[in-house]
Structure 1
C-alpha cells in the first residue's frame, strides 16, 4: 500500500470516529436536556386524608399536634380539616362520603349501631369527665341541678349533651318529662340562653364557657363529673378502612405521637391548640390537668355504648328494641398493629 493510500484510509477512520463521538455527545446532550426539563417525580407523594372534626374542642388536641408538629407529614399523609360544631355533624360527613374520618363522642357511634350504619371506631383519642355540663340562668331560678324541674332546657338531641342531661336529671330523681327540651345546634346555644329563650342549656366545652361569658354573674354551671365520661373517638366507613389499612396505621401512629405531646407538654399543647381562639380562660387552663390524651381501644367503650343504647331504646329515640353487638363497630387491626398494649377490648 502506497503512502498516499494509507494516509487516505487513516483520515477516513479519524473522520468516522469524530462523527461517532459527535453523535454520542449529541445524544448525551439531548438526554440531559430532557431530564432537566422533565420535573422529577417525588419519591413518595403525600396521601390526603380528610378529617371531619371540631377544632374548637379540646379533645382534638392530638390531631392539632399531629398536624402542627409534622407527625402526619412524617407518616406520608397530609390531613385536611373539615370543621364541624358537633360529633353528630362530623359523623354525618363521614356517612355522606364528605370526609374519610371523623371525630365523635360515643353517642353518635351508639346511634350508628342502632341504625346499622357501616362505620367503625379506629381508636378513642381523649377521655374526660369535665367537658360536659349544664349552664343555667340564676334569674330563672336555676341555682342547683334539682332546679331544672319544670324549666326549658336547650340541647342538641341525639348527642352526648342529650345523654348528659338525662343522666343529670336521673341523679336528681327527675326524668326528661320533668323538663321541656328545645333542640338547637351547638353554635346557637349562647344566643338562645342570653335572649332568655331557654332557662338552661346542656352542652360541652367550649360552648359552656361561651355561655358563662355571655351571662356573667347571672350564669351558673354544673359539670358532668361522676355523671358522664366523655369518650372521644375517630371513626370511618368500614369500606374506607378495609381499602386503606396502611393509611389507618399511619393516622394512628401520628395521633399516638400527638397524644404524647399533649400529655407531656400540656402548656405548650394548650397554647398551640387554642391559638387564634377566644376560649382561653383560667378555668379551662386549670381543666387541662383532668384531660387524658391517649389512643386506646378500651372495653369501657363497648360498655358505654351498650348502656347508651338501652337509654335510647327506653326513651324511644329509636325504633329498634335490641342492643347491637358493638364489637362489630370497632376496627381492631390498626391498633393491634401499632399499639397492642392499648387494646383491652375482649374479642
Structure 2
C-alpha cells in the first residue's frame, strides 16, 4: 500500500515538474477516454512526414487531447485515395496530388502545409545510356507516377531547361516499380521522389545518372480533409495541427534525436535519411504561395493535356484555413 502511494505521488510530482497540472492531466485523460473513435490519418512514408512521426513518438496528440492512428502509406496519391474511399479521416499529400484531383472533385480541403523541399524529386537515367541532358529524352520512355508530383516534376524540369517542346513517352507506374523499370530497360528515365532516388544511388552507385534538378520545383506536403467531415471534426483538426506545430519545434531544436526517431519509424538507415534532410523545411503555413503554385500547375495540366478539362478549378474553395486560424489565434492569446 505504501509503495502504491509513493508511486502515485511520484507520478504527480513528475507531471508538475514538466509543467502539466494535475487538473489538466485528469481533464486530458477524461477527454481522451470519451473520444472513442480516433482520427485516422494516412501518412506518406517519406521523411517529409516527420512532424506526424515525431508527434506520435512524443505522444503529442494525446497532449492535445486527440486520439490519432497513423496509417503509413506509399505515396501521397495513395493517401488521397484512402481519404476519398473513407478509409481515413485525414491524408498527407503533395500539392500536385491536390491539383490533379481538383479537376475530378471538390469535396476535399487543404487544412495546412507542413513541409517543403526543393530537392525531394529527382530525374534519373542510366550512365550506360546516352541520355545525359534533358533534350536527349526526345522519343524516349519516362517512368512516372500518374497524377502526382512525379508527373508534374518532369514537365517542370523540361520547361525550366528550355526543353518544353521535347516529346517523350509517358509510362505510368507505382513508385516502387520505377527503379526496377529503369534498371531493366523498360523505361529510359524516371521521375521519382525520395527515398527511392537515394536507394537506387546507394545500391547501384555509378550505374545511376542524376540530372541537376535541385531548385526546379518547391514541393509542399499538405494535410487534406473531406469537407463532409469538417464541421463535426474541426476541434480535433485544430488539436492535430497543435501537435504537429509542437513536433516541428522539436524537429528544429533537436535534429539529431528527430532523425533517430524518423529513421526508426520509416525503417530506413540513417545515411538514407540524411541524404536529403537538409533540403527539408518543416513549418505550418497556408499562404498565397500554395494557391499560386496550384494555379501554375493547373494551367500546365490544361495546356499539356495532362487533364481532359479546360476550366480552371477555383482553388480558393479547396483551401480551408479555419483550423490553422484557430490555432494561430490561440497561440497569440497565450
Pair in the same fold by TM > 0.5 = yes
Which whole-Å deviations, capped at 9, do the CAs of 1:245-273 have from their partners, x for residues lacking one? 10011101001011111222122111110
- How high is the TM-score relative to the length of structure 2? 0.84
Shift in CA distance, 91/61, structure 1 to aligned 2, threshold 3 Å: same
1:22-41 equivalences in 2 (<5 Å): none
Structure 2 distance, partners of 1:310, 1:273, is 36
Secondary structure in 2 aligned to 1:77?
coil
Asked which structure has the greater CA Rg, the reply is 1
Displacement of 1:76 after TM fit? Answer: 2.0
| 2:106 corresponds to | 117
| 1:4 corresponds to | none
Check whether the contact 1:65–1:269 (CA below 8 A) recurs between aligned residues. Answer: yes
Which whole-Å deviations, capped at 9, do the CAs of 1:9-29 have from their partners, x for residues lacking one? xxxxxxxxxxxxxxxxxxxxx
| 2:75 corresponds to | 86
Structure 2 distance, partners of 1:233, 1:145, is 30
Secondary structure in 1 aligned to 2:264?
coil
Structure 2 distance, partners of 1:256, 1:104, is 18
- How high is the TM-score relative to the length of structure 1? 0.81
After superposing the two structures, state which structure 1 stretch, 108-117 or 304-313, moved more. Answer: 108-117
| 2:66 corresponds to | 77
Residue ranges of structure 1 left out of the alignment (5+ in a row): 1-41, 343-347
1:289-304 equivalences in 2 (<5 Å): 289-304=278-293
Check whether the contact 1:194–1:214 (CA below 8 A) recurs between aligned residues. Answer: no
Of 240, 253, 257, the match for 1:268:
257
| 2:54 corresponds to | 65
What number of residue pairs does the alignment pair up? 300
Of 15, 26, 30, the match for 1:43:
30
Check whether the contact 1:131–1:224 (CA below 8 A) recurs between aligned residues. Answer: no
Structure 1 distance, partners of 2:80, 2:275, is 30
Shift in CA distance, 64/278, structure 1 to aligned 2, threshold 3 Å: closer
Matched, 1:126 2:115: yes
The alignment's C-alpha RMSD in Å is 2.0
Secondary structure in 1 aligned to 2:317?
helix
Check whether the contact 2:138–2:166 (CA below 8 A) recurs between aligned residues. Answer: no
Matched, 1:136 2:128: no
| 1:102 corresponds to | 91
| 1:20 corresponds to | none
Of 322, 332, 336, the match for 2:311:
322
1:1-347 equivalences in 2 (<5 Å): 43-44=30-31, 45=33, 46=35, 47-55=37-45, 57-175=46-164, 178-222=167-211, 224-275=213-264, 277=266, 279-280=268-269, 282=271, 284-285=273-274, 287-339=276-328
Secondary structure in 2 aligned to 1:198?
coil
Residue ranges of structure 2 left out of the alignment (5+ in a row): 1-28
